[in-house]
Structure 1
Amino acid sequence: MKPATAAKKLGVYLDATPEEFRDGMVSRDELDALQADPPEWLRELRRDGPHPRPVVADRLGVSISGLARAGITEPLTTAQITALKEEQPEWLHRERGIRAEAQREQARLKAERSGPSAR
């Protein structure tokens, strides 16, 4: 698979990976090996970042769209994410509320759909 696909599956920012990872192809066996016994560079990226937007959004408890609305388009490090959590800017509070409401609505719709068919 392409390095971008492998990086996405590993949950890391492609541009922060070593050059040999970015320049080559990654087999499924190699991906499995990286997941089972991550090398130091992978452990460090997962711990400290920079993190791709899906990871940043998840760690902040917001959607990827919420990050975009807040003007966050670049990858963030763990330290930057922690600082945002401590700072609690208005946009973060608002976007967490939006995400929570969306999740409640999804749960309601799922329950509504499964209700009549459960009979």
Structure 2
Amino acid sequence: MFSCCEIGMMTLKAVNLSYEDNKSVLDACVLLGLCLLESIRVHLGRKGSLSDYGWQVILSVFITIPCICGVIFLVWKQTHVLKLEYILCALMLMLQFTELVFATIFLFSLCKQPTYE
């Protein structure tokens, strides 16, 4: 949903607003890279959790950090930012930070010694 909304808003801005020095190409490349990274991250997370391969889940958690940087770029460094983009990016950042917190808790729970009572 995030990707579809962002691509739609990027198209709207490209048609209606003026950009200087091909800044729209940079914005579009960042958005395309973010969509690609998010797709890879979600795929690795699902595949890793369903097949019990821990390295895929850990890689998915590490890919979250560049995804957060991409969303922050869309909010602060993009040439034109709509109010709807602020809302969607804030929601996306909250979800990604929540994922990082729960992933950290999960990784710490894996390191605990099992207790048998």
TM range (shorter): 0.3 to 0.5
Query: TM-score of the superposition, structure 1-length normalised?
Result: 0.34
Q: Return the structure number with greater relative CO, CA threshold 8 A, min gap 6.
A: 2
Query: TM-score of the superposition, structure 2-length normalised?
Result: 0.35
> Would you tell me which structure has more helix in proportion to its own residues?
2
